[in-house]
Amino acid sequence: MNFLFCGDHNAERGVLIAVLSLLKAERGEEIHVYILTMKAKSKQRNFRPFSQHAADFIGSLVTADNPKSSVELIDCTDLFVQEPPTANMGTRFTPYAMLRLFADELDLPDRILYLDDDVIIRKPVDQFYTQDLTGTELVGVLDYFGRFFFHHQKRVFDYINSGVLLLNMPEIKRTGLFKRVRHLMQVKKMFLPDQTAINILAKEKRFAPRKYNEQYKLQADTVIQHFTTSFRFWPYFRTQTVKPWDVKRVHSVLHLHEYDDLLNEYLKLKDQL
């Protein structure tokens, strides 16, 4: 199975946790992890790329589980410079979120599962990963809150969350989806620009059950839990953000102990990144 992550130095902790959870869920299976990064800066800050040291360390864990597995770090700086998301560079959007949109320009496998760095794989993903992708560009799960506010197709809910996407690269290349998404981000300012552009332009997207990208609260059948920013309404309205690497808040705010063994392993390893 093939997995894709993107990010800068700040993504290293999340990718470590995600990969540890993947190794636990898919014990002994051959997996190949691709991490896209780049050198970048904005008016407000300079970004540090995902380090080769961190990629190599995560790779050592992967190959210890199965010698045929691998981790590859790919520098996308040149691609980004050629097609920057000009209209959205001044927004809250992080340019590293766009790196997955260059997947069609890279030598990647035909089938690859993109994951945000704030996910935990709780159960095997084989059933989701191996589904028939004929005539499908990508498969995703409805955005838990965004489905109520955004609409682009002739169905009640059609707005997917882009944090978990099963990508059919030959079909994406055939339709030019990512190329069109990159162009739209250059010319149109949007809210959550990469996710919004994918939803606007993907005409061959398929919708998967919520259990493959649980964005609100752990359920009994959850396969992938995604620790997104969410709205909470009790005892007062607020937004809530808790990431897996903030272990104390996972316990104190979410009251979640499902992943204690995984997060304890992360705490032992994180200083080696």
16-36 pLDDT, tens digit per residue, is: 999 999 999 999 899 999 999
Taking phi over 0 as left and psi of -120 to 50 as alpha, with beta for the rest, 108 belongs to beta
Mean pLDDT of 233-249: 80
Cα 117 from Cα 127, distance rounded (Å): 21
Domains of the chain, first to last: 2-230 (3.90.550.10)
Cα 89 from Cα 207, distance rounded (Å): 30
Global pTM value: 0.90
> Does 150 score more than 60 pLDDT?
no
Cα 30 from Cα 266, distance rounded (Å): 21
pLDDT tens for each residue of 202-215: 988 999 999 999 99
Mean pLDDT of 169-173: 97
Handedness of CA 152, 157, 158, 159 (dihedral sign): positive
Residue 250, both tokens? 């996972």
